[in-house]
Structure 1
Amino acid sequence: MTFTIALRALVAALWLALLSNSAIAASRIKDISDFEGIRDNQLIGYGLVVGLLGTGDSLRNSPFTRQSLQAMLERLGVNTRGFDLNTDNVAAVMVTANLPAFSTQGTRIDVSVSALGDSESLQGGTLLVTPLLGADGEVYAIAQGPVAIGGFSANGEAASIVRGVPTSGRIANGALVEREIDFKLASMTSLRLALRNPDLTTSRRVALAINELIGLPTAEPVDPATVRIDLPRDFDGNIVDLLTDIEQLIIEPDLPARVIIDENSGIIVMGQNVRVSTVAVAQGNLTVRIAESPEASQPLPFSNGETVVTPRSDVQVDDESGNKLGVVDETITLQELVNGLNALGIGPRDLISILQAIKAAGALQAEIEVL
């Protein structure tokens, strides 16, 4: 039996063992990590959008649009030097795109178009030929085509209305790939697996799962975010098949106990491993209500008195004395912790202060991160 056949048989056995234990909260390696080198590459370019209905850049306020327009016309054999250009049907734009991994020449990709000057809308415009550059300054794609926007604007003499963002749009399949990225996956003898959420325990579990799959100590956790995989010397299969089998391995990722707090919106997110020691919590607010109800004082009949306004104030004080000292017991699960905090009958913003106070008392066994 060859190495590839034995590998596939082992994968099938692991799948049966994992399916029989469905109680484990686990994830595929494919969903928690990426193979280094297999990624998108960002492209950017500068171009012109023409055909706008009077909603383009004003050439006086956008000198870069005027210079680009003159340079483009000169390349087409039209001399405009010395003439006063006065058109508002052209807009300078920035064009961005993501070049997927292993894209071949002739492949089409989507591009995003965003106004650079004071254009009011790109509706009805067409992007002229625009080279898209990579981080190394080389041209990897050429973009051109009609721009589709998701918003609109309408102006009248006394009012105007704008919906969405009419100064940015998208061209589906608007760029052709002209240069391929040199990445020889089949010739590689060592790969690096990058975890999306770095963690020492997760990195070790990934390495152990891969070694169990291959049957040899080929995977090694380098750091909390990286696992290095060295292909066996006698490996005679397709590397794509091996990576596919590795991606389907199921492990249980481990994350640190953490509480995320957004004080602006009052949002609290707690991880699964958050624990709290036994602690007593009391919460109360002092509310003072003052109501003014002035009364008019009328003089007696046939007297020389005057009508005056007599102030009258009603003051009420509520100290919420019903909120007593509550005990949050040492919990085992996140659900019990949430139930214990909810039993205090408080809102999210008060809960933020309580969590910070519990952390200061040393009873919250988690890290608090404030956004």
Structure 2
Amino acid sequence: MADMSPAGSSAPPVHTSLPWQRAAGGANLLSPDGGLGVTIFEEMTTLAVAKGAINLGQGFPDEDGPAEMKEAARAAIQAGANQYAPGKGFPRLREAVAAHQERFYGLTPDPDTEVIVTTGATEAIAASLLAFVQPGDEVLTFEPFYDSYGAIIAMAGAKHVTAPLAAPDFLPDLDALEDAFSNRTKVVLLNNPHNPMGTVFPRDVLAKVVELAEKYDAIIVSDEVYEHLTFGEAHIPVTTLPGAAERTITISSAGKTFSFTGWKIGWLSGPAHLVAAARTVKQFLSYSSGTPFQEAVAIGLGLPDAFYADIAATLKEKRDILAAGLREAGFGVYVPGGTYFINVDAATLGITDSVALARRLPDLVGVAAIPVPVFCHAEGAERTRSLLRFAFCKKTALLHEAASRLATLQDKL
């Protein structure tokens, strides 16, 4: 991969005139001399395999989701649901998304005009940004940010502006957030609950986002894929706040909620005119996808409340297992309110370069993680240079083993 140390990532990428180069630069994949690297996820996964390490870097579950959903997908394949789905998704899934929004949040999107099915949340985000952003515009995100955000913003030719999330609670300073807005702010790309920091944003932060979006006439694109993975903190869709609904596209997916990340079934909802614009772009990206999986996801969205409560409770137990091992390792641990990521500070061990530590961990203790600076631009990379992110969406036995290995870290350093 490109040099992802804070010093390396602080230099602006060069030779970024072509779209692919802009995308690579936006995702921190270009070195200062313009060399192209692999993603940090690929690098850490390769290291984990080579060293026989437990991979707590890339965030994917190692257990399947509900059996009834798998059976529904098999039945759909057997019944011949193997050709193109409608461009905006099968009616049953769109209706299930609308019913889900009403059931959990009191929202009533029209499944015919205000909901579309996408190839995962990533395509929904790409379609939304490409629909509304052009060169000269600004897109505002919190920082650290999920790497695909920077890539898509750069491909669109827009400027990526960030507002920092600072330890220990990883909430934004509201004055700094306001300073990040300008008359060129076209889209606020919100991620709540937040990857990689695990923050579940409270109402006052969301209200400030809406207030500023109204002031600057910006569209809010809200990535809420971890909406059901919170631990005692209620998820608040930003579109439920006064003044938000008419300017907000809400995005989610089946991958995180149901542990079927490989199915790549996502959706977006919002006002008909915004959804129509995003659909116009989306139909020239993938057009449609996942025909047999759409029926299965519709069934999943209708699962009883007990299912949703159980997935959060089970994940919380896994979070706590890993947190205990990380504390024993000597890290400063930031306990997340949601998602399936936990962040730690290596500075408590006298280590300030998390990128270098991440490259050593698979060999030192047989566990792989992701350094947080790779989710940042220059100043953010310096601010987070000692932080590491671990994923706890793994089998309980594996997490106990990872915790045991991590507990030996201070002896190995």
Question: Same-fold call, TM > 0.5?
Answer: no
Higher strand share: 1
Larger Rg: 1
Query: What's the TM-score, normalizing by structure 1?
Result: 0.20
Could you say which structure has the higher helix fraction?
2
Q: TM-score, normalised by structure 2?
A: 0.19
